[in-house]
């Protein structure tokens, strides 16, 4: 480990992640650890230059105040306490330090070097991956999403052909998405890539299924089965690469957090398929994952990809999926993405996509009545996907998108724009 580190001890603050980010923005690496870390555990962390005791509204748990173990006071590291802090700490602040106050502590009191950058991070991870994996083999489910793509690029750099990537095309990918995974990873980065076209299998299982939750269950379950079948065909794999990132770990709960969300990882693999995990991004925030991907040479289009649900276009082809409507979703989505990119909206709007409902409406084409599908365009902005506001898309852009969808997508005679914020509407329709 080449970087200096500031350790943030979680004493019940809801702002641990914000503080960790603020320290990293100064160019100094930081990690959040539980308040009851022992002096021994702290000593084992590399290059720690100082501690921030981050108190806050969850400072009292089950009637008892949260306190660090007293041996930490003798550890000799500079300490800063925030919010109702313990009297034993010399440096105390009422609120989260920003700007000069934080800079003074990190660089002045702790004497940390601003040496946290992606080049150093990648060099560290490559070293750690090689030490962990040795000459063994690693398997990775490569969806083409940002996190799995960056993990793949990192593992290719560290262990090359000892990595096997499996890309499962469930037939619900966006236009050219699987093709670009193959192009980047097989043709450019020379990865061992197994491409499984499971389109027929997924569409078969989904036939006639209209209930959104049922659809999601089928897609998720089938995905694990296909991946498992591929994993069983390979020999001597001991490790599983995974795109866990820092918010997954923070959100999975600290000892003081009141809101706990379970940590989502690939999971669901049968007991007898036991792997040790390799998670080289588990200390990175999302924007750091993107910088890491760019540094590893991935194309910007992959690194800045908008969020895309695991069940893919399956939840945008509403109700029971039919091939003609799935094609309409895929083609209209491609048109929307092209036009948003042309208008520069792709860099500003958080998420934008199309859906096709499972009913038709009356229209007129070539002087004759037609009865065809409708495309709904949705474009939203959000910070955390818990709430979302509708993007006020320029009228000319909407007109152009509409013209192109009506001209280029078969079986469609109507285009609508979804004006609903979240809540009450969710971002996706199913
Ligand atoms: P909702 O529809 O719940 O979506 O407002 C919030 C965000 O989550 C994305 N989403 C998913 N992402 N797997 C994912 O990885 C899923 O099953 C899934 N469902 C929704 C959605 O696109 C939006 O960004």
Ligand 1 contacts CB of residue 280 (under 6 A): no
Ligand 1 contacts CB of residue 351 (under 6 A): yes
CATH number listed for the domain at residues 118-303:
3.40.50.620
Confidence at residue 12, expressed as pLDDT on a 0 to 100 scale: 84
Confidence at residue 260, expressed as pLDDT on a 0 to 100 scale: 38
pLDDT per residue as tens digits for the range 195-210: 999 999 999 999 999 9
CB-count burial class (<10 Å; 0-12, 13-18, 19+) for 64: exposed
Ligand 1 contacts CB of residue 78 (under 6 A): no
Please tell me the residue having the least CA distance from ligand 1 atom 3: 426
Is residue 359 a contact partner of residue 328, using CB atoms and an 8 Å limit?
A: no
Is residue 92 a contact partner of residue 50, using CB atoms and an 8 Å limit?
A: no
User: Is the peptide bond preceding residue 15 cis, with omega within 30 degrees of 0?
Assistant: no
CB-count burial class (<10 Å; 0-12, 13-18, 19+) for 23: buried
Confidence at residue 273, expressed as pLDDT on a 0 to 100 scale: 80
Confidence at residue 264, expressed as pLDDT on a 0 to 100 scale: 40
Those residues whose C-beta lies under 8 Å from the C-beta of residue 262, and which sit 6 or more positions away, are 252
Return the ligand 1 atom nearest residue 311 CA: 17
Ligand 1 contacts CB of residue 421 (under 6 A): no
Confidence at residue 269, expressed as pLDDT on a 0 to 100 scale: 78
CA of 315 to the centre of ligand 1 (A): 10
Task: Annotate 162-201 with b (16+ C-beta within 10 A) or e (fewer).
Answer: bbbbbbbbbbbbbbebbebbbebbbeebebbbbbbebbeb
Q: What is the architecture, at CATH level 2, of domain 318-417? A: 2-Layer Sandwich (3.30)
Q: Which residues of the chain have pLDDT under 70?
A: 1, 85-87, 252-268
Confidence at residue 263, expressed as pLDDT on a 0 to 100 scale: 41
Q: What are phi and psi of 171, to 5 degrees?
A: 80, 0
Ligand 1 contacts CB of residue 309 (under 6 A): yes
Return the ligand 1 atom nearest residue 428 CA: 2
- The vertex-417 CA angle with 371 and 427, nearest 5°, equals 115
Confidence at residue 256, expressed as pLDDT on a 0 to 100 scale: 66
Ligand 1 contacts CB of residue 313 (under 6 A): no
Domain range summary for the chain, segments of one domain joined by + = 5-109, 118-303, 318-417
Ligand 1 contacts CB of residue 6 (under 6 A): no
Rounded CA-CA distance 107/326 in Å is 56
**Residue 340 CB-half CA count within 13 A:** 24
Please tell me the residue having the least CA distance from ligand 1 atom 19: 309
Confidence at residue 265, expressed as pLDDT on a 0 to 100 scale: 46
CATH topology of domain 5-109: Rossmann fold (3.40.50)
Confidence at residue 248, expressed as pLDDT on a 0 to 100 scale: 86
Instruction: Note the pTM of the prediction, 2 decimals.
Output: 0.90
Rounded CA-CA distance 280/40 in Å is 24
CA of 384 to the centre of ligand 1 (A): 11
Ligand 1 contacts CB of residue 385 (under 6 A): yes
Six-digit token string for 65: 């105040």
Six-digit token string for 351: 């998420």
- Domains 5-109 and 118-303 fall in the same CATH topology: yes
Ligand 1, pocket-test mutation among 143, 245, 309, 310, most atoms within 8 A of CB: 309
Confidence at residue 369, expressed as pLDDT on a 0 to 100 scale: 98
Name the DSSP letter for residue 422. Answer: B
């Amino acid at each position: 480990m080449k970087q200096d580190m500031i350790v943030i001890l979680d004493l019940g603050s809801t702002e641990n992640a914000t503080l960790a980010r603020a320290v990293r923005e100064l160019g100094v690496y930081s990690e959040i650890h539980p308040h009851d870390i022992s002096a021994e555990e702290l000593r084992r962390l590399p290059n720690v230059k100082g501690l921030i005791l981050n108190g806050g509204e969850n400072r009292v748990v089950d009637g008892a105040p949260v306190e660090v173990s007293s041996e930490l006071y003798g550890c000799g590291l500079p300490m800063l306490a925030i919010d109702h802090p313990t009297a034993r700490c010399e440096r105390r602040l009422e609120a989260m330090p920003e700007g000069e106050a934080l800079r003074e502590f990190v660089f002045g009191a702790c004497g940390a070097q601003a040496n946290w950058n992606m080049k150093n991070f990648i060099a560290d991870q490559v070293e750690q991956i090689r030490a962990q994996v040795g000459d063994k083999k690693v398997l990775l489910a490569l969806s083409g999403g940002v996190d799995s793509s960056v993990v793949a690029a990192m593992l290719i750099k560290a262990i090359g052909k000892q990595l096997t990537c499996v890309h499962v095309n469930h037939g619900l990918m966006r236009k050219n998405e699987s093709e670009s995974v193959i192009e980047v990873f097989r043709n450019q980065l020379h990865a061992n890539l197994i491409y499984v076209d499971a389109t027929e299998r997924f569409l078969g299982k989904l036939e006639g299924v209209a209930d959104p939750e049922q659809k999601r269950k089928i897609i998720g379950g089938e995905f694990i089965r296909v991946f498992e079948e591929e994993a069983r065909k390979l020999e001597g794999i001991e490790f599983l690469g995974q795109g866990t990132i820092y918010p997954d770990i923070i959100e999975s709960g600290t000892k003081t957090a009141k809101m706990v969300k379970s940590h989502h990882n690939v999971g669901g693999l049968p007991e007898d398929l036991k792997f040790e995990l390799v998670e080289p991004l588990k200390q990175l925030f999302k924007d750091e994952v993107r910088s890491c991907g760019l540094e590893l040479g991935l194309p910007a289009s992959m690194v800045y990809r908008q969020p895309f649900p695991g069940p893919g276009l399956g939840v945008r082809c509403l109700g029971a999926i039919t091939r003609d409507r799935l094609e309409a979703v895929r083609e209209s989505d491609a048109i929307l993405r092209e036009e948003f990119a042309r208008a520069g909206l792709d860099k500003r709007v958080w998420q934008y996509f199309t859906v096709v409902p499972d009913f038709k409406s009356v229209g007129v084409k070539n002087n004759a009545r037609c009865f065809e599908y409708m495309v709904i365009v949705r474009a939203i902005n959000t910070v955390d996907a818990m709430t979302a506001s509708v993007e006020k898309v320029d009228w000319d852009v909407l007109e152009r998108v509409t013209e192109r969808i009506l001209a280029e997508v078969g079986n469609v005679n109507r285009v609508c724009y979804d004006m609903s914020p979240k809540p009450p509407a969710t971002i996706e329709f199913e």
